[in-house]
Amino acid sequence: MLHCPIGFARAFCATLHVPGRDPGSAVTIAPDLVAQILRLYTVEKWRVGTIARQLRVHRDGVPRVIGGNSATVHPSPLRPSRMDSYRPFMLETLTRFPTLTSSRLLQTLMERGYVGTA
């Protein structure tokens, strides 16, 4: 079974898009495993079945890695925040008053129109 091991963020794992499956159900392979597959195939000249058996991955995953059908999962773009328009004021205030408490800063922001998270 192919999976992203514990300790690897999903963004750093390669994905394999399996034909005939829903595009949202991609299979992930850790980058170190992708590197091992490519090294064993290109340098050591191992056969696909041998690589799959030794690394305990599915035999269909090895040709996809070799064929370059892997892509990095990119995180979604950042959305605008309610705090964006207040950020310059916050930074300026904290620069002038570094010991200001967060509750007092929040109160000051709310006086200027910040509604908080809802």
**Percentage of the chain with pLDDT > 90?**
39
Average per-residue pLDDT in the chain? 77
pLDDT, tens digit, for every residue of 83-103?
Answer: 889 999 999 999 999 999 999
pLDDT, tens digit, for every residue of 44-66?
Answer: 999 999 999 999 988 888 988 88
3-class state of residue 4 by DSSP: coil
Largest separation between any pair of C-alpha atoms in the chain: 69
- Top-confidence residue, 69 or 32: 32
DSSP of 49-85, one letter per residue?
A: HHHHHHHT--TTHHHHHHTT-EEEPPPPPPPP-TTGG
Edge-first strand order for the sheet with 27-29 is 27-29, 14-16, 70-72
Task: Take residue 23 and report the two structure tokens written for it.
Answer: 């595009």
